[in-house]
Structure 1
Amino acid sequence: MEKQSELRLTVAEMSSLWAQYINDTIAICVNSHFLMKATDPEVRPIIEFTLSIAKGNIEILENVFTNEKFPIPIGFTDKDVLPGAPKLFSDTFVLMYLRQMSILAMAASSAAIGFGTREDVISFHKRVLNGAVKLQDLTRELMLKEGTYVRPPFISTPDKVDFVEKQQFLTGFFGKKRSLTSVEISHLFINIQTNAIGKALITGFAQIARNEEVTQYLKRGKQIAQKHIEIFSQFLIKEDLPAPMSWDSAVLDSTASIFSDKLMMFHTSAMIAAGIGNYGMAIAASPRRDLGARYASLLPEISLYAEDGANIMIKHGWLEEPPQADDRDQLIDK
């Protein structure tokens, strides 16, 4: 039997390790700036923890890549961040941002563990997962303490167990609409919140972008996020449920360059990809037809926005290629 460390990396392992490396290099750049500008003494240790995890991940990944004779990705470096630049986001927003990043990291590492084969790769992703869970705990505890944690809505506890008896449970376009289920409410809340965080993030990015094409692209993203927030919020408001707060006031008035346009475009693209995934899960969890159809109608808009972003990055040589399958026809022609 082959030793685990001697097994070749599967395509799933290769892609998850490559993506983790890119994401950790972004995390180091962004959190280095956050740490330098943080003024809340309770926020600083959380940023330091995030940085230590990302740097430790990079060290492990570089060893794996070297052993596999796999080219180490470029990712993002200190050239993509200007340490001495003015503060762009409030410490409160930094906490919320880190909490959101921990949620994305938990989802990605859980999937990577599920598709992993080699013990060393699985062990690495368990490290990522444990770090993300710890970061989630740290951010939630401090936000609860500071009164900035936004809880999902409350509904009445059911009196008894019920089963669906009529097709009306699925309707939503005509006639009386049933109340939203707790699952549907949860997805609406999450998608409002992620759009609000994304809107604040790209608003700050738009203020400091240097390339006009990038600026206009980010402004368009801000408008799309606001539109989706309003659409999802209306579903909750009609049920007399509260919608999450916006984070617009957490963006400060700095216009000085902090992050490279390359980093901001890639980060925005990653947030869009996560949003598309969230919408897909929401469609699957939303039996009420009008709600599922609304999500479906918004997907083409953000998919096109993502494609336009990719085209901008390709145009400027900013989009690093992930590992690809061999082109057998090309090899034969050679």
Structure 2
Amino acid sequence: MTQKQALTSSELGTLWMTYQEKTMTLRMLEYFIEQADDNRAKGIMQDTHMKIINYLEDIKAILKNEGAVLPVGYTEQDVNIGVPKLYDNMFDIMFLRLVKEISMGLHTLHLNMAYRKDIILLYKELTAFTQSVYDECVDYLQEKNVLPRPPAVTMPKSVEFVEGTNYMSGFNLFSEKRALNTVEVAHLYHAIESNIIGMQLITGFAQVANEPEVKKYFIKGKELAKKIVTENTQLFLQSDIQPPSTWGANATDSKLAPFSDKLMMYCTSLFCSFGLGSSALGTAFSLRSDLPLKMVSEAKDILTYGQEGGKLMAKNGWLEEPPQMQDRNQLTK
């Protein structure tokens, strides 16, 4: 029999990241399942919860076979399912949809970093599972009429090519800016949509956080999300485009924490990473010169906010270290 290849550093790192994200998702689903009033929503979350447990067992088995210590991640101590609802109905599926959107990107990226057959198969299965859950969430939300669609557009009748550099102009005060194209609208709309959910999520976190510094941090994050939504909405209005309507499912008036500060900080960090990736894509594909600079400015604000969160987690002992490479300088001393 051929000996199985050892895990590479990339594979160990991606398995560790997946473990953190999946254990966080499990804890939040446990709370949302307990609070669910709608049987279909509850069924989607229960099925997702069960399959995540199975994938976590696969990851544990791989790590144990390699002699690697299991991460701590997020445990039953990080959730309190008995407290009142922190969010209105349907926020649970809105949240799950966004988490699956993040997971799809992560699994695709991690698949490209895998070399061993069993790790490749794991991420292929995770990708297919994640896409399936995402589809279920979209179908559910559309049937409930709570998932706004992007703006309508007249279908093009001919192919056009850019003539001159005016198409890319966005800063000339003496010339009119061109209307947004559909690629730019897609990225701006996505930023508005995801930040609306993030703003609702972090509003609830701010209400229930135990540590004063953490509460203050969440309030700052809520204002940052509000700023991004406002600025991108203004860009739509300047091009006479109808911005998306604000979804329902806001935070309730509960002040009892269903999640630990540690878990809520990690969840916010994950959303920050997602926001940075989205801003980078928007910057790359926007041709009007004012848009990339605006998106870079947003990305800088998100990065600064995320770094503040990392320092706060480290200060409180909540920041679990990823597996380290050997420090050769230290070993040779």
TM range (shorter): over 0.9
Q: Please give the secondary structure, in 2, of the residue aligned with 1:42.
A: helix
2:93 is aligned to 95
CA displacement at 1:251 relative to structure 2:
1.1
2:113 to 100, 107, 115: 115
* 1:125 aligned onto 2:123: yes
User: Quick one: which amino acid aligns to residue 287 of structure 2?
Assistant: P
Structure 1 residues 246, 11: CA separation in 2 closer, same or farther (over 3 Å shift)?
A: farther
- Identity across aligned pairs (percent)? 34
Count of residue pairs the alignment pairs up? 331
Q: Which of 150, 153, 156 is the matching residue for 2:154?
A: 156
TM-score (norm 2): 0.96
The equivalent residue for 2:79 is 81
Corresponding residue for 1:197? 197
Equivalent residues of 1:310, 1:319 under 8 A apart: yes
- The residue aligned with 2:288 is 288
Q: Distance in 2 between matches of 1:210 and 1:85?
A: 14
Determine which of 16, 19, 42 is the counterpart of 1:18: 16
CA distance in 1, matches of 2:60, 2:235: 47
Structure 2 counterparts to residues 305-316 of structure 1, below 5 A: 305-316=305-316
CA contact (8 A) 1:200 1:247 kept: no
TM-superposed CA distance for 1:111, in Å, is 1.3
Mark the runs of 5 or more structure 2 residues left unpaired by the alignment.
Answer: none
CA distance in 2, matches of 1:153, 1:322: 42
Match of 1:65 in 2: 63
CA distance in 1 between counterparts of 2:248 and 2:44 reads: 23
Amino acid of the residue matched to residue 34 of structure 1?
A: F
- CA positional deviation for 1:298: 1.9
- The aligned amino acid for 1:250 is N
Superposition map of 1:7-46 within 5 A = 7-46=5-44
- Say whether the 8 Å CA contact 1:12–1:115 is kept in structure 2: yes
CA distance, structure 2, for counterparts of residue 246 and residue 323 of structure 1: 41
Distance 1:302 1:104 in 2: 16
Cα deviation, residue 155, structure 1:
1.1
Are 2:87 and 2:249, in contact at CA under 8 Å, matched by a contact in 1?
no
C-alpha separation between the residues in 2 aligned to 1:127 and 1:52?
15
For 1:91, what is the secondary structure of its paired residue? coil
Following superposition, the deviation at residue 2 of structure 1 comes to 5.5
**How far 1:247 moved relative to its partner?**
4.2
- Who is 2:303 aligned against? 303
Structure-2 residue corresponding to 1:320: 320
**Residues 89 and 204 in structure 1, CA contact (< 8 A), matched pair in contact too:** yes
Deviation at 1:248, TM superposition (A): 6.5
Choose 58-67 or 123-132, whichever is displaced more: 123-132
Equivalence for 1:215: 215
Contact preservation (8 Å) 1:92, 1:250: no
Pairwise CA distance, 1:91 = 2.8
Task: Name the Cα RMSD after superposition.
Answer: 1.3
- 1:24 Cα shift? 0.8
Alpha carbons 2:146, 2:248 under 8 Å: kept:
no
The amino acid that maps onto 1:103 is: E
1:81-123 deviations in Å (ceiling 9; x for gaps): 0121111112311111111111111111111112211110011
Aligned-partner Cα distance in 2 for 1:321–1:22: 11
Distance change in 2, residues 1:74/1:323 (3 Å)? same
Q: Contact (CA 8 Å) 1:93, 1:247: kept in 2 or not?
A: no
- What is the rounded CA distance, in whole Å, between the counterparts of 1:181 and 1:15 in structure 2? 39
Please say which of residues 218-227 and 126-135 is displaced more in the overlay: 126-135
Q: Does 1:176 align with 2:176?
A: yes
Q: Distance in 2 between matches of 1:12 and 1:247?
A: 39
For 1:130 and 1:205, locate their aligned partners in 2 and report how far apart those are by CA, in whole Å: 31
SS in 2 for 1:240: coil
- Whole-Å Cα distance in 1 between the matches of residues 303 and 104 of structure 2? 24
Amino acid at match of 1:268: T
Instruction: Report the residue type matching 1:166 in the other structure.
Output: G
> How many angstroms does 1:246 deviate by?
2.8
Q: Deviations over 1:255-300 (max 9, x none)?
A: 0121000000111011001101110110001111101111112222
Conservation of the 8 A alpha-carbon contact between 1:113 and 1:122: yes
User: Residue type matched to 1:163 in 2?
Assistant: F
Structure 1: any 5+ residue segments left out of the alignment?
none
Aligned partner of residue 112 in structure 2, secondary structure: helix
Measure, in 1, the Cα distance between the counterparts of 2:273 and 2:279: 10
Give me the TM-score of the superposition, normalised by structure 1: 0.96
- Pair 1:46–1:117, CA change in 2 (3 A): same
The 8 Å contact of residues 189 and 244 in structure 2, kept in 1 or not, is answered as yes
